[in-house]
Structure 1
Amino acid sequence: MRPQSGHQNFQRLSRTSVTLCNMPSEVTTGLFTLAGALIGGGGTLLVTLVTTRNQKELAIAARDHHLRDRQYAEHRHHVVRLDRFDEAARALVNALYGRDNEDTLTRLHIEYLDTWTKFTEGHGGPELAGPAELREPLKQLYEAMCDYSNHIDAWWAAGVRTTRREALNTTCNELHDRMLAKRTEYVERSGEWSNGVAAR
């Protein structure tokens, strides 16, 4: 083997030292890359956790809004059923007071019974829908409606030729006014509850 000249040895040493000098910068670059990956991964994980939490909160809020919408709809439908009953009851009372013919009375009585049945069958909906704050006004409204309805039934049973027509009509009007007052209370309490929920 031929001996190497000093110049060749110097070149080899230079290349080795350049490689050794470059090595720390490669390690540094690798460490920075690793640190960047860790920070980026941690940031991604944090964003994922925050997004998941927000999605859960949004799902709970959406469910609560859906429940409140259903409650509101139940109470609104209940008032509509009551108003239909009230309209049919007033028509029957006016016909009884006016001593209308039998066909008209029979038709109005059937309509009255139909609206009464729909109202009473639907009464459980708002009771179950809640909230608890509306149970008492709902109960009072139902009782006032039943008192009014029972009085109309008694008048129907007495017949159009009853001699107590004026007294029956006076009591009927008083019970009707009481029912409407309870309806107003119920609607106002429903509105307060609905507005209170919306403000939350």
Structure 2
Amino acid sequence: MPQEHYFSSKPADRAALRTVPVRLAGRDVEVQTAGGVFSPDHVDLGTRVLLDEVPDAPSIGHLLDLGAGWGPIALTLGLESPEATVWAVDVNERALDLVRRNAQRLHLENVNAVDPSDVPDDVRFSVIWSNPPIRIGKAELHALLRHWLPRLEVGATAWLVVQKNLGADSLQRWLADDLGAGWRVDRVSTSKGFRVLTVTRET
């Protein structure tokens, strides 16, 4: 059988699904993953660094996981904030299918796994947590962040984890220059080769 492309967009059939034990929101759970999505065998190191660093998620409002993969960030948001509306955004239909399966397994009715075009234009976010897809290329990454960061509510913050050797410091500088007045961009921690950046909308 030919090996699947690393990022397959077609949803996995039942035979391709694998059950993986993970720890999310302080509890041990089992999730379903499959080949063709990012880090199918475990919570990747960058995401774990991010989840260890972020403060408690807002209890209400709209919360965004940008580049959801199989869903570790979105599922954590859903578990921590059952009264909030969680948006798990990805362009990979296989990833979205896995997020939906996992939300169902964990009895999370507040997690919406959707294509970016399916998020209503008037939705504004109380927080963004993201391990952004750095490897899509600088131009595409910048376009992605330019689209979603301005949808933060005033006073809200995006938390981003970026590998240091994949351009975390240059991304921090670009964010500060590109967003300009009314925004604050900070590096809040460095751990295991990753930077955690915050982008706060001040006005």
TM-score range, shorter chain: under 0.3
Bigger radius of gyration, 1 or 2?
1
Q: State the TM-score, normalized to the length of structure 2.
A: 0.22
Asked which structure has the greater RCO (Cα within 8 Å, sep 6+), the reply is 1
Q: State the TM-score, normalized to the length of structure 1.
A: 0.23
